[in-house]
Amino acid sequence: MERNVKMKQQQKHAQRDVMKHLRDSIPDEEAEKKSTGIIKTLEKLPEYTEASVVLMYAAKGKEVRTKALIESAITNGKKVLLPITNLEAKRMEIGEVNDHSDLREGAFGIMEPGKKSGQWEEKIEAAIVPGLAFDMEGHRIGYGHGYYDGMLKRMRAVRIGLAYDFQIVEMLPAEGHDQSMDLVVTERRVIRC
């Protein structure tokens, strides 16, 4: 059993390295163009359009860009929340964003709200999630710290992963604590898991 867990962790680590390299090597213009297509598709999905309280993320590096999504959601009257990494407690907390300028640099160089606000986990209807890789069953590989898994475990929201199509693989090694997506949106397709 322990050997199986170690093998899965090694597979995840290898997949993480490959996908990070692939994602980081795409040109900025291509990342912007693909991100625009992904966001346009997301904004037409009922799981997103019908949600009034949405958890999003501030993109870092070559992640699917979310700045325009955050701004349009605020303009359209959605309650927009972003995670705040609490390194001391090793968990994600949640803060509200009323304008993209509300964000400041937090842990790992990721932009986040300046302060946490209330208990939002129960009210979130859609969680927009980044990842390095996703599979056809909605399994996700992130950066390996487990912050998103811990946060997603505390909420009942529809989980929507955003990724470039090359980040989709047939199957990822999944462990018991890993939280799966309900949908993954790429520039080419919507995968319902």
pLDDT (tens digit per residue) in 66-110:
999 999 999 999 999 999 998 888 888 999 999 878 899 998 889
> What three-state secondary structure class fits 20?
helix
Report CA-CA distances (Å) from 66 to 15, 40, 113, 130, 153: 24, 11, 15, 10, 23
Residue 6: its pLDDT value, please? 67
pLDDT band at 13 (very low <50, low <70, confident <90, very high): confident
143 compared with 84, residue with greater pLDDT: 84
CA distance from start to end of the chain: 27
Q: How confident is the model at residue 130 (pLDDT cuts 50, 70, 90)?
A: very high
133: pLDDT strictly greater than 90:
yes
Every domain of the chain and the residues it spans: 2-192
* Torsion from C-alpha of 165, 18, 30, 183, nearest 10 degrees: 30
pTM score, two decimals?
Answer: 0.90
The 10s digit of each residue's pLDDT in 18-41 is 889 999 999 999 999 999 999 999
Three-class SS state of 39: helix
Structure tokens given for 83: 């995670």
Tokens of 185: 């949106």
pLDDT, tens digit, 9 for 90 and up, residues 147-168: 898 899 989 999 999 999 999 9
Give pLDDT tens digits for 36-77.
999 999 999 999 999 999 999 999 999 999 999 999 999 999
Q: Show the DSSP H helices in 54-154 as ranges.
A: 67-75, 147-153
CATH of domain 2-192: 3.40.50.10420
Residue 8's pLDDT band (boundaries 50, 70, 90)? low
Q: Per-residue DSSP letters for 130-148?
A: --SEEETT--EE-SSS-HH
Task: Give the pLDDT of residue 1.
Answer: 56
Report the pLDDT value the prediction gives residue 2, as an integer from 0 to 100: 64
Burial classification of residue 144, based on how many CB atoms lie within 10 Å of its CB (0-12 exposed, 13-18 middle, 19 or more buried): exposed
| Residue 166 confidence (pLDDT) | 96
Question: With contact defined as beta carbons under 8 Å apart, do 151 and 143 qualify?
Answer: no
